[in-house]
Chains A and B, each alone.
Chain A
């Protein structure tokens, strides 16, 4: 029964490449649908602007996260994880748990296989629950009384306030300095909105770097 030539990772590369390519195409289908059916598409220059903005914010994460989670996720896990997401908070714990329970040594093929199985189970759970929430959410939205519906006008400030508090608690100094810079820049620097975004994101990165320098010099 044992086939010494069997290489799980290698066999997953082909599957991974094909399915990720499928994911990349599927990712744009709703945008293309809006364009074809309703003629709603940003001009090309604006698409570039949008890309520049999201790249300035998440570009480092695009590159760094798949690399830094690779030792934990393995080849198969990386292909599955970076299509369906939630790698840090859901997928990598599930994979680690599967590894722990199955008790195969680190770096063995057996370990990678049970990790991948754990990860796939986690992905199915996420997709199933998200689907339930989507349908339930639609029902709930339809039933909401007008007063509650009006309250959703204040949703985004609440979400962003909460996210900001969460991010700042990782590094309070960078949180305070960056928000002060953002208020100052928005109030006194008369430049168009999207360059404002770039400027403030750059200030966030610069401030974090300065704090890093400051902290490492102190030691």
Chain B
């Protein structure tokens, strides 16, 4: 177990993970340069775009804090560098958790168990990589001819049906993982953890819906409540 932690948090893994973050920063810098050039060419006054950026900054601060708590959970499974890289890039915390879990389940190992060693970890790493590449690949192939695609697809398919299908696929995945956690383990503490976290989520979503910014932390808070409830019984 500790040997795995050493690999996960070693210098090599830091370097391997930092390349993605570097690409993101380079991309943003290049696009910002082009946008500033464009603003100059089109005569957008400085105060106007500075105001826009300030507004974007303040809109982002709250929601960007959301993954703070869940990050600790991700760190416990895949180590610091991987958690850092994966929360910076395209996958959200919960789809990363989903992908790493179904991938290590291919060899029948639960990421929370003592059997989770370097082999299962490599499965999880491939799970996250293959998941994230999907969005990047589609954006790469389609963005430059997107205008036409959007119009033709909206004619052909019902937007509402597609929304049902994407939610249905996620519901299916998390139904599998959740049921598997409960059926396979026969551990009452795990059931309590799942139920307590689920109730917390519902309470935050409906009962405390007026408290601003609480929803952004809901997953992290639910995680802590679930873990606490399971430890206390």
Contacts and interface: CB of A to CB of B under 8 A. Distances in A.
A46 B167 contact: no
B10 to A, nearest CB: 9
Interface in A21-46: 21-24, 26-35, 37-38, 40-42, 46
A58 B71 contact: no
Q: Which range holds the interface residue count of chain A?
A: 35 or more
Contacts of B43: 1-2
Q: Which range holds the interface residue count of chain B?
A: 35 or more
A138 interface: yes
Nearest to B105: A193
B208 interface: no
User: By DSSP majority rule, is chain B's interface helix, strand, loop, or mixed?
Assistant: helix
Contacts of B214: none
A169 B202 contact: yes
A130 B67 contact: yes
Contact of B64 (A19, A126, A187, A204): A126
B56 A162 contact: no
A105 interface: no
User: By DSSP majority rule, is chain A's interface helix, strand, loop, or mixed?
Assistant: helix
Contacts of A138: 9, 75, 80
A158 B225 contact: yes
A191 interface: no
A122 B56 contact: yes
The 6 closest A-B pairs by CB, nearest first: A204-B172, A158-B226, A208-B168, A161-B194, A118-B56, A62-B134
Contacts of B183: 183, 186-187
A10 B91 CA distance: 27
A80 B89 CA distance: 10
A113 B39 contact: yes
A164 B175 contact: yes
Contacts of A147: 231
Given A62-B137, A85-B135, A122-B56, A161 B27 contact: no
